[in-house]
């Protein structure tokens, strides 16, 4: 090789090394400017409150301002799509949830993002706990007796949800599928309707998030038969899980997690993962999240990625078995 060729080779190698080193150097300086944290729901909901609980502590650890931005619409698809198309530089984060990332992909053929390809996993944040409730006068004491009653009256018992395709609806469909019973689904616009109708005796049961139902359960207006999680809820410690109360293997985890656009540099993902898990381990933060009816999780990026893959397949099976169709 000539001296000129050797010099050119060395120059090209130096240039390539500099190019590959640039993202690492920039990642080491991250964050250098305010971070946008997208919530694809309106203010005041569970995902929004959770994000606003976490963001001040995360901002403190990162030493940078975090601006929470609500981008609601189309069952959270609008804000999720905005995050998917953002530059992969660590300055756009997304509070993701099971609905738009594990359920809607099986219901909407025109979903404007690919939840696995368009996002990098940062950390599993928490799971929302759901509870199965019935009217206090219903002559059943547990899930096992409820299943027996439904089998004795096929197609007569009703179950309400916040709408077709919602997590609560699919939790009920999973319950029906696993127990082999026939229930009539009644769809409402919002989660308040089913609980009110159960209390009024218009429908038999509903599966909904624990927190808004707690006052009614404690006042005896609703009878709680089982929680959907793997473990009992600290808010309802006397109420067994559905799995231990008559339906082994039943578990529904409606999760919240932190995502970034795909191709966000791994050093930035690792920095964010370490920081958000520090936040989740703070006693004051954990206590506040638990008070919202959440089960605090935390994870590595790889653990969360594997969980998302598994959960996407899990909900796909539920949608197929229940033959749930997309309702625009």
Q: How far apart are CA 50 and CA 39, in angstroms?
A: 10
DSSP assignment of 162-221: SSTTSHHHHHHHHHHHHHT---EEEE-SSSHHHHHHHHHTSSSEEEEEHHHHHHHHHTTS
Is residue 66 classed as helix, strand or coil in its secondary structure?
Answer: strand
Q: Average pLDDT across each block of 10 residues of the chain; the chain has 328 residues. List them in order.
A: 48 46 60 97 90 98 98 93 98 96 92 97 94 95 96 95 86 92 91 91 94 91 94 91 92 93 98 98 95 91 98 91 70
User: For position 149, what pLDDT does the model report?
Assistant: 97
Is residue 127 classed as helix, strand or coil in its secondary structure?
Answer: strand
CA angle 87, 80, 285 (to 5 degrees): 95
Q: Are 204 and 175 in contact (CB under 8 A)?
A: no
User: For position 229, what pLDDT does the model report?
Assistant: 87
The CATH code that applies to domain 130-227 is 3.40.190.10
Rg (CA), the chain: 23
The end-to-end CA distance of the chain, in Å, is 66
Reading the block at residue 73, the tokens are 């619409």
Q: How far apart are CA 168 and CA 288, in angstroms?
A: 23
Q: With 0-12 CB in 10 A as exposed, 13-18 as middle and 19+ as buried, what is 186?
A: middle
Q: How far apart are CA 127 and CA 98, in angstroms?
A: 9
Q: How far apart are CA 151 and CA 131, in angstroms?
A: 21
Query: What's the pTM value of the predicted model, to 2 decimals?
Result: 0.82
For the chain, domain boundaries: 27-127+254-322, 130-227
For the chain, where are the E strands, in sequence order? Answer: 35-39, 66-70, 92-97, 119-128, 130-134, 158-161, 184-187, 205-209, 223-227, 254-261, 294-296
- With a CB cutoff of 8 Å and minimum separation 6, the contacts of 114 are 105
Residue with tokens 């996407």: 312
User: For position 52, what pLDDT does the model report?
Assistant: 97
* CA 219 vs CA 161, 205, 216: distances in Å: 22, 17, 5
Reading the block at residue 144, the tokens are 């096992």
Q: How many CB atoms lie within 10 A of CB 72?
A: 16
Closest Cα to residue 218, out of 202, 237, 231? 237
Q: How many CB atoms lie within 10 A of CB 105?
A: 18
May I ask the CATH class of domain 27-127+254-322?
alpha beta
Q: In CATH terms, are 27-127+254-322 and 130-227 the same topology?
A: yes
Phi, psi of 76 (to 5 degrees): 75, 5
User: For position 276, what pLDDT does the model report?
Assistant: 98
């Amino acid at each position: 090789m000539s001296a000129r060729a050797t010099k050119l080779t060395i120059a090209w190698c130096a240039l390539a090394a500099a190019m590959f080193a640039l993202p690492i150097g920039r990642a080491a300086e991250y964050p250098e400017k305010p971070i946008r944290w997208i919530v694809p729901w309106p203010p005041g909901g569970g995902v929004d409150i959770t994000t606003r609980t976490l963001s001040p502590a995360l901002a403190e650890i990162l030493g940078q301002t975090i601006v929470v931005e609500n981008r609601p619409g189309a069952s959270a698809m609008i804000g999720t799509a905005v995050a998917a198309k953002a530059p992969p530089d660590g300055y756009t984060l997304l509070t993701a949830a099971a609905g738009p990332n594990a359920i809607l992909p099986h219901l909407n053929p025109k979903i404007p993002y690919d939840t696995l390809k368009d996002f990098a996993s940062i950390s599993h944040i928490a799971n929302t706990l759901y509870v199965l409730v019935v009217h206090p006068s219903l002559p059943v004491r547990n899930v096992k007796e409820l299943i027996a009653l439904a089998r004795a009256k096929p197609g007569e018992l009703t179950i309400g949800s916040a709408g077709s395709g919602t997590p609560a609806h699919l939790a009920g469909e999973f319950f029906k599928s696993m127990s082999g019973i026939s229930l009539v689904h009644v769809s409402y616009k919002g989660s308040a309707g089913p609980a009110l109708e159960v209390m009024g005796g218009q429908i038999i049961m509903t599966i909904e998030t624990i927190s808004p139902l707690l006052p009614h359960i404690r006042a005896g207006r609703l009878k709680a038969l089982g929680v959907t999680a793997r473990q009992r809820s600290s808010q309802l410690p006397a109420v067994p899980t559905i799995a231990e109360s008559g339906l082994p293997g039943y578990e529904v985890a409606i999760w919240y997690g932190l995502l970034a656009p795909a191709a966000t540099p791994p050093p930035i993902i690792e920095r964010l993962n370490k920081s958000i898990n520090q936040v989740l381990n703070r006693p004051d933060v954990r206590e506040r999240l638990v008070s919202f009816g959440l089960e605090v999780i935390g994870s590595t990026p790889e653990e969360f990625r594997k969980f998302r893959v598994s959960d996407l397949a899990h909900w796909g099976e539920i949608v197929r078995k229940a033959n749930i169709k997309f309702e625009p």
